[in-house]
Amino acid sequence: MKHNIILTKTSKTVNGTVQLTGSKSECNRALIIEALSNGKVKVENISDAADAQTLSEVLSRKSEVLSQKANYSGLETKDLRLVDIGPAGTAMRFLTAYFTLQDEEVILTGSARMKQRPIGVLVDALREIGAQIDYVENEGFPPIKLKGSLSQQSNKVSIKGNISSQYITALLLIAARMPLGLELHIEGDLTSRPYVEMTLAMLQTAGIQHNWVDNVISIEPQEFKPTSIYIEPDWSAASYWYAIAALSEEAELFLPGLTQYSLQGDSVITEIMANFGITSQFKDGGVYLQKEVKPVFRKIFDMKECPDLAQTVIVVCAALGHEATFTGLETLKIKETDRIKALQNELAKIGVKLVEKGQVYKLDCSEKQIPDRIFVNTYDDHRMAMAFAPLALVVPEVEIEDADVVEKSYPAFWGDLEKLGFSPLTP
């Protein structure tokens, strides 16, 4: 049953240490690499995020569900395995590619929202290579039926770079296990390039070499080497503490385990939040954040490389009345929810407009007003809940709908807030 949380914070000062869970992005990649390595690769510090736990269970077959419990008309399901990954979008993309190599037939499905999130670009690319994939309900969307034991017809495939880097990552993760390897041509601009670089770096750690020239990434068939992959704490989760520091009057926070030279693209939050007076000092095996009061001058933020930070940064700007302009938000409309529409709806509650003009978005804070209380709808989106939670430093009482939605990426979020002086109450 869904329950809400009411957040308050009497003091506008934030001090303390927050131990973050392992990166969901790193962990999901590492788990697929581990599964493909036939026991040679081991993953350490597996993330507590629900998405990562779901993927781990599917890959270890702990969550196996017999498909005869499913009812798909016109499909022979007697010997199929049904895999329901719920709202885990990364798991859907990665498993779509992974199951094409396995010696079994699978129906891969998810939540109602997952069935609205497109998968056609990835399915088309896999079919071009030789995979056998059928849509079970609606063309271009999950659920899908996959027949494994890939009979590879081609090692060349083209995929658009501006839709989702997860499609590209899904293909790269399985490339070394394909009989003919893979030559992946990226069409147009590449969105979220750091996530593709993360994938290739983690594959390299596991012994898989690649060649990236211009818009072509090539991976030959090759073996994984014995190694362990340690999952760094989650920079995406760290971004909410940067937002809290930015909206506080004084802040001194320590986030252990985070490194200056991270594989995670969202580590760019250190540079973004420097605009809001947040200094980042890397020492003692982590990062220290400190708030220095300063005027905000930066007017344009390009989120193309780090779209998961968009909600966090937009809410901070809105709360501060900083009329910034944002680009690189194209992928936000196909996430857990339409994040653009969700932001527009919720920012209106403090009188702020997010105005869309083509692919440029501008905050209009001319009618901004801070009420005594707001109710934040979360749209089944973990990042909506966590991006708006820092408003408790500005709005006396913030009620967040469906508090458990944060389990997708940061299950300890409300507990960590409480340790640092926030009061999360059940209404």
Per-residue tens of pLDDT for the chain, all 427 residues: 789 999 999 999 999 999 999 999 999 999 999 999 999 999 999 999 999 999 999 998 754 544 444 556 556 555 678 899 999 999 999 999 999 999 989 999 999 989 999 999 999 999 999 999 999 999 999 999 999 889 999 999 999 988 889 999 999 999 999 999 999 999 998 988 999 999 999 999 999 999 999 999 999 999 999 999 999 999 999 999 999 999 999 999 999 999 999 999 999 999 999 999 999 999 999 999 999 988 899 999 999 999 999 999 999 999 999 999 999 998 888 777 899 999 999 999 999 999 999 999 999 999 999 999 999 999 999 999 999 999 999 999 999 999 999 999 999 999 999 999 999 888 7
Residue 152 contacts residue 127 (beta carbons within 8 Å): no
Count how many Cα atoms sit within 13 Å of the Cα of residue 327 in the half-sphere of its side chain. Answer: 6
First vs last Cα of the chain: how many Å apart? 14
Are 200 and 71 members of one domain? yes
- Whether 124 is catalytic: no
Helix 24-36 vs helix 89-98: angle between axes, to the nearest 10 degrees? 20
Are 107 and 158 members of one domain? yes
Are 208 and 277 members of one domain? no
Cα torsion 180, 100, 64, 173: sign: positive
SS3 content of the chain, % helix, strand, coil (to 5): 35, 25, 40
User: Of 212, 230, 248, which residue constitutes the final position of a domain?
Assistant: 230
User: Which stretches within 37-85 are classed as H helix?
Assistant: 50-59
Are 244 and 351 members of one domain? yes
Residue-level pLDDT at 425? 82
Residue-level pLDDT at 73? 56
DSSP string for residues in 278-316: EEEEEETTEEEEEE--------EEE-TT-GGGHHHHHHH
Distance from C-alpha of 117 to C-alpha of 366, rounded to nearest angstrom = 35
Q: Show the tokens assigned to 280.
A: 């980042």
* Residue whose entry in the numeric block shows the structure tokens 């340790």: 419
Are 180 and 161 members of one domain? yes
Residue 319 contacts residue 363 (beta carbons within 8 Å): no
What is the DSSP-derived secondary structure letter of residue 322? -
Are 47 and 179 members of one domain? yes
- Residue 178 host element (H or E): none
- Phi then psi dihedrals of residue 145, to 5 deg: -105, 125
173: left (phi over 0), alpha (psi -120 to 50) or beta: alpha
Residue 237 contacts residue 20 (beta carbons within 8 Å): yes
Could you say which of 48, 51, 308, 381 is catalytic?
308
Are 389 and 345 members of one domain? yes
Are 138 and 274 members of one domain? no
Residue-level pLDDT at 61? 78
Are 60 and 13 members of one domain? no
Residue-level pLDDT at 65? 45
Distance from C-alpha of 76 to C-alpha of 79, rounded to nearest angstrom = 8
What ranges make up the beta strands (E) of 131-195? 132-135, 144-147, 156-160, 182-187
Q: Show the tokens assigned to 304.
A: 């193309």
Are 310 and 214 members of one domain? no
- pTM of the model as a whole: 0.85
Residue-level pLDDT at 74? 55
Q: Residue 384 is part of a domain; what is its CATH number?
A: 3.65.10.10
Distance from C-alpha of 242 to C-alpha of 273, rounded to nearest angstrom = 7
Query: Could you give the number of structural domains in the chain?
Result: 2
User: Of 230, 254, 289, which residue constitutes the final position of a domain?
Assistant: 230
User: Of 194, 212, 230, which residue constitutes the final position of a domain?
Assistant: 230
Are 223 and 309 members of one domain? no
Structural domain range at position 209: 24-230
Are 58 and 132 members of one domain? yes
